[in-house]
């Protein structure tokens, strides 16, 4: 299925990822001292959006099997009724691959290399590849939507592409 198309991953940043959702990281975040000054709260890092069709937030842990670069991408998925946040728990780099919508299908892809201290929150309806752990088995804290309605669309690609990391 590989077409020979290649894409290089760029470093994940709030500015570059903004069209797709939020980057979850403490760098540049609003800090609040709480609990009598013994704890720093990094406040309001992502917008959880799960209320469509009476949805409710779910918190899960996903354990991702590692991919070895170059990573071949042959499909995308999206969740039209809610956001989906991923935050790594093992301080390992991982890959984030998204695409703009192109008439109901994934458009041109963009690949980001995230540090082990950066998470993402995909906005509702954003095309993305499922979890892409790199190097070792890695755990991720996930906040997404539970409830009724159809909240998963998958789109196979006519031709796969490879991502260089």
pLDDT in tens, 66-115: 999 999 999 999 999 999 999 999 999 999 999 999 999 999 999 999 99
34 — pLDDT class (breaks 50, 70, 90): very high
Domain encompassing residue 147:
2-164
Count of structural domains, the chain: 1
Residue 117 has pLDDT above 70, yes or no: yes
Report the percentage of the chain scoring pLDDT > 90. 96
Instruction: Tell me what pLDDT residue 3 has.
Output: 61
Beta strands in the chain (DSSP E): 2-8, 10-11, 21-24, 30-34, 39-43, 56-64, 66-67, 71-78, 84-88, 94-102, 105-114, 119-122, 127-128, 132-134, 138-146, 153-164
**CATH no. for residue 148?**
2.60.120.480
3 state SS of 156: strand
33 — pLDDT class (breaks 50, 70, 90): very high
Residue 4 has pLDDT above 90, yes or no: no
Q: φ and ψ at 132, to 5 degrees?
A: -125, 80
pLDDT in tens, 35-44: 999 999 999 9
pLDDT in tens, 150-160: 999 999 999 99
CB 50 within 8 A of CB 145: yes
């Amino acid at each position: 299925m590989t077409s020979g198309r290649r894409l290089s991953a760029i470093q994940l940043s709030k500015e570059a990822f903004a069209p797709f959702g939020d980057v979850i990281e403490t760098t540049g975040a609003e800090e609040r001292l709480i609990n009598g000054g013994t704890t720093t709260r990094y406040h309001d890092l992502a917008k959880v959006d799960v209320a469509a069709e009476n949805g409710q937030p779910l918190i899960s842990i996903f354990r991702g099997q590692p991919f070895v670069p170059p990573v071949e991408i042959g499909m995308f998925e999206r969740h039209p009724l809610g956001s989906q946040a991923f935050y790594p728990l093992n301080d390992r780099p991982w890959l984030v691959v998204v695409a703009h919508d192109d008439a109901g299908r994934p458009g041109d892809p963009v690949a980001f290399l995230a540090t082990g201290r950066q998470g993402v929150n995909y906005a509702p309806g954003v095309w993305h590849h499922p979890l892409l752990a790199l190097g070792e088995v890695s755990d991720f804290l996930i906040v997404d939507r539970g409830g009724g309605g159809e909240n998963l669309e998958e789109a196979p690609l006519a031709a796969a592409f490879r991502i260089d990391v």
